[in-house]
A and B are shown apart, each in its own frame.
Chain A
């Protein structure tokens, strides 16, 4: 009797291990890729130190938030082509209001900006629910609106984010290897983990996974969709503020790059564009990989313009490998 139980346990563990591997395989692969790219980087540039690491975390921070924003929306079965525009809006709102003020004032402004842009994200969702127009069309249209508003707030790139506010992201308070920009990423799990465990968060997965089954399970489709867009808006706002902190500048035209790269990051990060599948860990790591590519090229003495090309080829390869994998599994 006991012998069989003892024999059962390792088998069960193996089952669990196999399952975890299947479920998190992609994420693990993304981190392995990140580690590989880091190792290659250090091999190319033996004097890679905390400064370079610091630079990377600064460059990756806004993109990581953009990826988180897009992940939220895509998990719920949508897509938000206005992520970059929302970030730009948050960025210029922050600059406009903070200009010439101290840290406390800046923090209050940051809070207000977070609320405003979260509402803008929710508005994206609400328009989609109300008009029943496909997500891609509405967010494309609202990307004009948010970008236009950003231009209204600030006509041209302007420096002037308070230094104390910038220092929240720049430098490293604790250790040179744990830059502040890395710590700020903790905002993502702070929102994501409780959300994922709540019914509301499960409902977002549910509507992305199978809308019909979600409806039968009593999920409020409209509210869940708006929530996904609102949380997406919140992360976009974080991204905009991160842009303010890392660059110190308000840039009304920053949007397009982040919209496109955020889609790249979630694809690379293993979030299914069909919705319902994926998590936050993959896209964030993917944001780091995408930010590392131009740096590596510079270390190699290659024209950093190859960066975009490599990013494009990388995405195509990743998606095709995914597609071939799905084909093999089906056969």
Chain B
């Protein structure tokens, strides 16, 4: 009796992933109907290029949400990483990239200490760190950098270059990170512990897990991924200004939620988030094609998140 119930639920879970894919295809179909011939290799290439930074940013967010938290500093970190990378570019490309990534890891580390060791609610901790990062960045830009720094060629290629004419370079990086995350979440001890901590941190304690270590490492990983997303994004738009990634904060959470990761933690996957990021990007493309004003775009964006989240909650019956 219970095994049948279980298999039905699993079917729905699997199907919910298929539903997302179907939604994605339907949106692409919609574009094709609106403007026949629009969906071509070039369009796909464009979508992937724009989805990559969001997808990588949402990767960090996925990790944090799986542990039952939320990271509201991802966009600030991405912006700061890109800006510092660009401002350090005159001192050598390697040094600048390392500096950018270090910013991400350092901020994530502090977030992890707050959440893991001091048990500060993730929402507050990351909100506050976001303020600290943005404030510091503003100060830094006024004190140390006179002009808006340019993006080094390597990063520009990473963000907007293509191979064989159509395959974006950033796709390789995204695919690499994505594969590592999907496999890592499924079959490493650390991945297991992320789900375990998100499901019931008290139970993991009884099983001998020191939760703060897991959370610390996880927020640092999220900071790292946010920094990577920031670098890629600065390459895509070929600029690194002080509000580079701000617009991606809410979509990063939305992609995770649409992708079926429970905001309460303990379940979810990065593959869902990938599809979520793609859906948001394609949706954007549809609305742009329809010449919908930005305002309406936002409203539809919000409405779709509500509908998808409601559908999940109904189907999977979280209480």
Contact = CB atoms under 8 A, between A and B. Distances in A.
Interface of A: 79, 127, 130-134, 136-138, 140-145, 147-152, 155, 260, 263-264, 267, 273, 303, 305-313, 315-316, 319-320, 323-324
A137 B276 CA distance: 15
A142 B306 contact: yes
A151 B301 CA distance: 14
B310 to A, nearest CB: 4
A311 B114 CA distance: 16
B128 A320 contact: no
Interface residues of B, number: 49
B302 A316 contact: no
Given A141-B309, A144-B298, A145-B303, A263 B263 contact: no
Contact of A315 (B128, B295, B300): B128
Chain A contact residues: helix, strand, loop or mixed: helix
B257 A152 contact: no
Chain B contact residues: helix, strand, loop or mixed: helix
Contact of B313 (A131, A136, A148): A131
B124 A141 contact: no
Given A134-B263, A136-B263, A264-B128, A141 B302 contact: yes
Given A134-B264, A320-B114, 14 more contacts: A133-B310, A134-B263, A137-B257, A137-B305, A142-B302, A145-B303, A147-B298, A148-B295, A152-B295, A309-B135, A313-B132, A316-B128, A316-B129, A319-B120
A137 B303 CA distance: 12
Nearest to A308: B135
A312 B131 contact: yes
B299 A303 contact: no
A267 B302 CA distance: 27
B111 to A, nearest CB: 10
Contacts of B302: 141-145, 148
Given A137-B263, A151-B295, A312-B135, A273 B305 contact: no
Interface in B272-319: 293-303, 305-306, 309-310, 312-314, 318-319
Contact of A311 (B70, B135, B143, B318): B135
B124 A263 contact: yes
Contacts of B120: 316, 319-320, 323
A79 B123 contact: yes
16 contacts: A127-B310, A131-B306, A134-B264, A140-B250, A143-B302, A148-B294, A149-B299, A150-B295, A151-B298, A264-B128, A303-B138, A308-B138, A309-B136, A311-B131, A312-B135, A315-B127
B254 A305 contact: no
Contacts of A303: 138-139, 142-143
Nearest to B139: A305
Contacts of B245: none
A74 to B, nearest CB: 11
Closest 3 CB pairs of A and B: A309-B135, A144-B302, A148-B298
B253 interface: yes
A324 B263 contact: no
Contacts of A143: 250, 302
B171 to A, nearest CB: 27
* Most chain A CB atoms below 10 A, which of B131, B138, B295: B131
B251 to A, nearest CB: 9
B121 interface: yes
A62 B309 CA distance: 32
Given A144-B250, A263-B123, A308-B132, A131 B295 contact: no
